[in-house]
Amino acid sequence: MFLFHKKDKAVKSEKKDNEPSAKVDREELLRKANELLEQIDSVDGAEKCDLLERRGKLLMDAGEDDAAIEAFEACVANGRRMGAPYRSLTTLYNRKRKAAAESGDQDGAKLYLDKLQSLMQNSKDMLRGK
């Protein structure tokens, strides 16, 4: 009876030890994102969409939500494909909408709610083949 939860505690402590403790530096993420700008300008098509997606992910990880939104929106506009850009945009739009609502900015909250609804409509249209 006394050893009932002992195994669970040992497993939890092992998981904590295995987690990466080194966070990637924000400046490093921004530097990598800015390096991608030159490559983005020199390519087209699916490769450009891939680079924009990578840039958006780096900016999102660095906490630059507005710049990440621009990169993901450009990715969606260049290559109509579903997946990570749509998920990331949904996350970012919800984050911005929530921040606007908490600060009492009704216009900002409505703007991001409308963008979110438009994004959802685009994804439905793509699934239907329109």
Q: Per-residue pLDDT averaged across 8-36, rounded?
A: 67
- Residue 107 in domain: yes
* Lowest-confidence segment of 21-30, 44-53, 83-92 by average pLDDT: 21-30
- Residue 55 in domain: yes
**Percentage above 70 pLDDT, the chain:** 80
pTM tops 0.85, yes or no? no
pLDDT tens readout for residues 47-66: 999 999 999 999 999 999 99
Q: What is the CATH number of the domain that holds 82?
A: 1.25.40
Three-class HEC string of the chain: CCCCCHHHHHHHHHHHHHCCCCCCCHHHHHHHHHHHHHHHHHCCHHHHHHHHHHHHHHHHHHCCHHHHHHHHHHHHHHCCCCCHHHHHHHHHHHHHHHHHHHHCCHHHHHHHHHHHHHHHHHHHHHHHCC
| Cα dist from 125 to 29, 80, 92, 113, 118, whole Å | 34, 11, 21, 18, 10
pLDDT tens readout for residues 94-114: 999 999 999 999 999 999 999
Q: Per-residue pLDDT averaged across 113-121, rounded?
A: 92
- Residue 1 in domain: no
Residue of higher predicted confidence among 82 and 102: 102
- The pLDDT, as a whole number, for residue 24 is 61
Domain count along the chain: 1
- Residue 17 in domain: no
Query: Which two tokens mark 29?
Result: 């993420």
Containing domain of residue 114, as a range? Answer: 25-128
